[in-house]
Amino acid sequence: MEPLRIGFIGAGENTRSRHLPGFQAIEGVVCAAVCNRSEESARRVAAEFGVLRVVADWRDIIADDAIDAVCIGTWPNMHAETTVAALDAGKHVLVEARMARNLIEACAMQAAAACHPDLVSQIVPAPLSLNYDATIRRLLPDLGVLREARITSSSATNSSPATPLSWRQDVDLSGVNTMTLGILYETLQRWLGPPDPDWIAAEARTFTPMRCDREGNSHAVTVPDSVSVLGGYASGMALVACVTSVASGPAVSEIRLDGESGTLRMDLSNQRLMFSAVGSQEENEIPPDVGTAHGWQVEADFAASIRDGRPVKLTTFVEGVRYMTFTELAHRSWNAGGSRLRWES
């Protein structure tokens, strides 16, 4: 087997906890080079994970003909530039979610991937329901006509004004994909598939408009603390999403699908799938279907797509553009005072 040499552009938390160990575990995969925000941090990563070479400029990884693929683990502000450059240089790409800062950048990435159909282009998928996705899709017909999809996510992440500013609260770094709105919508779209809602309307609030970074410098907060989204599908189904980072108490993350015959509730916080028949006050827990709870296998899937030509399933750039469209419309709507905006492909 020919070695598959991977260069790492950015080595954030997910790259260190997931991608580097995941690729190390695959026979014939070589972690060839790493470039991080500082050369010092890149050297620490290389020493910990046995990466062969430390690179000061990410462009040197792109230009290295010996590297076959790149894993991009930077903040979203660099995803489009590094992805397009890597594809144009003939390298396969695994890029961390969020796909990009905004829809324009996401579409540029999709266009670059379309120009290089021989290369694998994959976004790190939403991991929240991997063990249950197949089971939920199987059970959807049992719900009858779907009436409502409800996304709820609440945490205390930004409850305290003293909490230091995060990159996720800086639109220049993180983009318009507000808090966990995009990852939750990606999870929902994986179950339902297209079409997406016909229209979107949203409103948002920022309760602490200024925060200090870890060095004590004050900055404007440009990403809201709370956002609520309404949407309507051609089928008549409603979408209701509420994501907040200022709720005290235990964190809650769930998606409900209400149909004429019953409700499925995926408790993402506790990894439990519950079903209630119409008219019933009781919930019954449903385990994953036998043989479908595959969990996290992102790195193995990426390597297999390169080596064996397997199509990317989680997550394609086309699907990424879909969730980026959703978050973009929500952002535009709350900036326009809650205006209802049409979804146009």
pLDDT given for residue 158 in this prediction: 96
Instruction: Centre a 10 Å sphere on the Cβ of residue 14 and count the other Cβ atoms it contains.
Output: 16
Average pLDDT of the residues in 294-316:
96
Task: Answer for the pair 303, 23: CB distance below 8 angstroms, yes or no.
Answer: yes
Task: Answer for the pair 83, 279: CB distance below 8 angstroms, yes or no.
Answer: no
Residue 345 has pLDDT above 70, yes or no: no
Which candidate, 312, 328, 345, places its Cα nearest to that of 124? 312
Q: Say what the pTM is.
A: 0.96
Confidence band, pLDDT 50/70/90 cuts, at residue 164: very high
φ, ψ of residue 165 to 5 degrees: the values are -60, 130
Residue 163 has pLDDT above 90, yes or no: yes
Average pLDDT of the residues in 37-56:
95
Which candidate, 172, 165, 168, places its Cα nearest to that of 102? 172
Average pLDDT of the residues in 270-298:
95
pLDDT in tens, 204-261: 999 999 999 999 999 999 999 999 999 999 999 999 999 999 999 999 999 999 999 9
Going from the C-alpha of 226 to that of each of 99, 179, 231, 290, 334, the distances in angstroms are: 21, 8, 17, 38, 11
Confidence band, pLDDT 50/70/90 cuts, at residue 1: confident
CATH code of the region 4-124: 3.40.50.720
φ, ψ of residue 219 to 5 degrees: the values are -140, 150
Task: Give the CB-side neighbour count of residue 319, counting CA atoms within 13 A.
Answer: 22
φ, ψ of residue 242 to 5 degrees: the values are -135, 120
Average pLDDT of the residues in 194-211:
97
Q: With respect to CATH, is domain 133-290+325-342 assigned 3.30.360.10?
A: yes
Residue 248 host element (H or E):
none
Q: What is the mean pLDDT of the chain?
A: 97
Domains of the chain by residue range: 4-124, 133-290+325-342
pLDDT in tens, 78-96: 999 999 999 999 999 999 9
| Helix, strand counts (H, E) of the chain | 11, 17
